[in-house]
Amino acid sequence: MKSVRAIMALVILNGIKPVMRSPLWLIVMLTYPLILIFFIYIFAEYAISEALVGGLVSLVVMSGVSIQADIVWYRVELKFQDMAVASPVSPTVYMIGMAISELAYSSPAMALFLILMTLRGMMNIPSVPILMLSMMLCWLSALSLGFYLSTRISDIRHIWALEGLISIVLSMLPPIYYPISLLPEWAQTMSMLIPTTHAALLAKEAVGIVSLTEYQGLMSLAILLLWTIALLLLARRKSVWREP
């Protein structure tokens, strides 16, 4: 119960209260994927369904990697992590609390995209489990990477630059807003090394945009799962909890 209370306190502190005090941040979070979808709609209206999936994946990635700035701010500027270290709160509980707070913060934007996908006729009951599974694994991967980096970098200015770079690599360059078939063969092979490619493929297959063979679907799920486990282990074992 103490761990649950600690997690809820972190969710309220870092997730719910900031949104209540400044709802403008929700608009900022939505701006990035919606602008891309707007331009895709203008130049290729037929690809809007694919772009909606890409926007959802982008929001999930942003929700995960944005934990960097918050943790560095609490650790370096507010010395909040020092208080957590001195308390009975474990690193795992702290990570879970901060993670759920980021999810609570970004969930309204994700809900909007799910509503838009439903209104477009992309969502149905059979598509929900694999869509949610792929998004959850994608979020855990981005979150673990963000948490690990946040404990290794002490200057928040570096975090802002790194956060933007990671978002580009994970949610702009890979074929999540557009079909993977548009890429040359060598680029398709390279994109298969990025976890968000597989999250997008699974999500697009779930809503009927692409058709994967059973082998392709299992392969994408296995690669995404392996990335998630590897990054979770990295965050669990290599993150710095106590300052030297």
Burial class (CB in 10 A: 0-12, 13-18, 19+), 107: middle
Identify whether 7 is part of a domain.
yes
Q: Give pLDDT tens digits for 165-221.
A: 888 888 888 999 888 888 899 999 999 999 999 999 999 999 989 888 889 999 999
pLDDT-derived band at 244, boundaries 50, 70, 90: low
* Distance from C-alpha of 171 to C-alpha of 49, rounded to nearest angstrom: 16
pLDDT-derived band at 83, boundaries 50, 70, 90: confident
Higher pLDDT, 102 or 135: 135
Q: Give pLDDT tens digits for 10-28.
A: 888 777 777 777 777 677 7
Q: What pLDDT does 46 receive?
A: 66
Identify whether 244 is part of a domain.
no
Contacting residues for 41 by C-beta, under 8 A, at least 6 apart: 48, 51
Identify whether 42 is part of a domain.
yes
pTM for this one? 0.86
Burial class (CB in 10 A: 0-12, 13-18, 19+), 152: exposed
* Percent of the chain's residues with pLDDT above 90: 23
**Residue 46 DSSP label:** G
Enclosing domain of residue 119: 2-238
Most confident region among 17-21, 72-76, 97-101, 226-230 by mean pLDDT: 226-230
Q: What pLDDT does 243 receive?
A: 60
CA atoms within 13 A on the CB side of 209: 27
CA neighbor of 176 nearest in space, from 153, 197, 207: 197
Identify whether 220 is part of a domain.
yes
Least confidently predicted of 55-64, 89-98, 227-236: 89-98
Identify whether 243 is part of a domain.
no
* Distance from C-alpha of 138 to C-alpha of 212, rounded to nearest angstrom: 19
Identify whether 154 is part of a domain.
yes
Domain count, the chain: 1
What integer best gives the mean pLDDT of the chain? 84
Residue type, 195: P
Identify whether 23 is part of a domain.
yes
Identify whether 40 is part of a domain.
yes
> Is the torsion defined by CA of 112, 195, 132, 210 positive or negative?
positive
